[in-house]
Structure 1
């Protein structure tokens, strides 16, 4: 929806996307709202409501930009999931994104928030008019602490002994190193493929 419609949109299944303007949005169970055609803003000149079982799909990038819903009315959230789809990029250890604003106030919370990144964990914060998404470095390690036979803390992403050794070396490079920065913003599958490339497999 990249134009403008004045009526309310009720989703009973299906997906609403685009960067247009709608009169109001009611997102039922099994339905998804995904603003933009990539990262973008969906404007609601009324109220927005997320029911239990609904999904709010949010794209984010390393520059701090994200999908967003901007409502002139209220936002009523009675459950549902925020599904974070992170674009490739070198993410900071913690980045905040405003994903929903409602001039008439925000009530309720989403049940869950998920992300496609292995080393950054999403969380949500709420105030009277906004919902903020934070992507923060978690305790998943690149590789097991002892090089392939188990990790002393968190979860190791590298499943094999060869991957484990190279993962430990890559993690020790730290923030600011291009290898570390690339791996920290990877999915689990991308990180494992990177470990294989680095180890020569």
Structure 2
């Protein structure tokens, strides 16, 4: 059985997914994202998200996390840093940080990746998930909805039509709501 591909992202009430559009992370949301990472053993990103995450969460050459990081951020970084990363990019010639490049047709390559043994693949980003959702490859969607109207920026899965089935909902003290979905049998591109 293929390992699950899980897409998780922060999103504003108006559907914006720009990484600066939500509330600043707090200990509760960082603990949530840390637990989400632990559900998978592979991270799948496009170039932009990979470079963003590497800049924020890669262990410095000194071996010590920066002093500005609070304990919840250190816990997140401690889980993310050693994880396997797979990067879908036509613009990069090489990657590091426990990463490998995904070559060829991205949909076919992700199908092969899902067929490898593992606990799951955690997908992040904005553009790559659009292609994978349209192909029916995403098994679970986790939207961390912030009580913010961004008014600008890229939109969540812009151009993809899906019908989703709610499987979990919870709220944080900050007003953030986590909504977890799986594709409904009637979804566009759903292989069931």
Instruction: Decide which structure has greater helix share.
Output: 2
TM-score of the aligned structures, taking structure 2 as reference length: 0.27
Higher relative contact order (CA 8 A, sep 6+): 2
Instruction: Decide which structure has greater strand share.
Output: 1
